Amino acid sequence: MQAFLLGHLAERIGVTMVDADAASIAITGAAPLVDAKEGEITLIDDPSYLDRLKSCGASAVVTSTRFEEITIPQLVVPRVHDAFASICRLFRPSDRAISPGIHPSATVHETAAIDADCSIGPFVSVESDCIVGAGTRIDRGVTIMSGCTIGRDCQLFPGVVLYPGTILGDRVILHAGVVLGAYGFGYRMSDGKHELASQLGWVEIGDRVEIGANSCVDRGTYGVTRIGSGTKIDNLVQIGHNCRIGQHNLICSQVGIAGSASTGDYVVIAGQVGLRDHTHIGEKSMVGAQSGVANDIEPNQIVLGSPAIPRFEQAQQLAAISKLPEMRKQLRRLENQVQSLVQKKAA
Residue 9 identity (one-letter amino acid): L
Distance CA 347, CA 336 (A): 16
Distance CA 73, CA 19 (A): 9
- Cβ-based neighbour number of residue 118 at 10 Å: 20
Do 177 and 195 touch, CB atoms closer than 8 A?
no
Q: What is the dihedral of CA 10, 16, 18, 20, to 10 degrees?
A: 40
- In the annotation, is 103 catalytic? no
Give the active site residue among 8, 109, 241, 248: 241
Helix (H), strand (E) at residue 268: strand 268-269
- Cβ-based neighbour number of residue 40 at 10 Å: 20
- Cβ-based neighbour number of residue 58 at 10 Å: 26
Do 22 and 41 touch, CB atoms closer than 8 A?
no
Q: What is the DSSP string of 250-293?
A: EE-TT-EE-TT-EE-TT-EE-TT-EE-TT-EE-TT-EE-TT-EE
> Helix, strand or coil for residue 228?
coil
Distance CA 102, CA 100 (A): 7
Residue 134 identity (one-letter amino acid): A
Distance CA 322, CA 325 (A): 7
Residue 117 identity (one-letter amino acid): D
Phi-psi sector, 163: left (phi>0), alpha (psi -120 to 50), beta? beta
- Kindly state the DSSP code that residue 90 receives in the 8-state scheme: H
- Cβ-based neighbour number of residue 274 at 10 Å: 19
Q: Among all residues, which ones are annotated catalytic?
A: 241
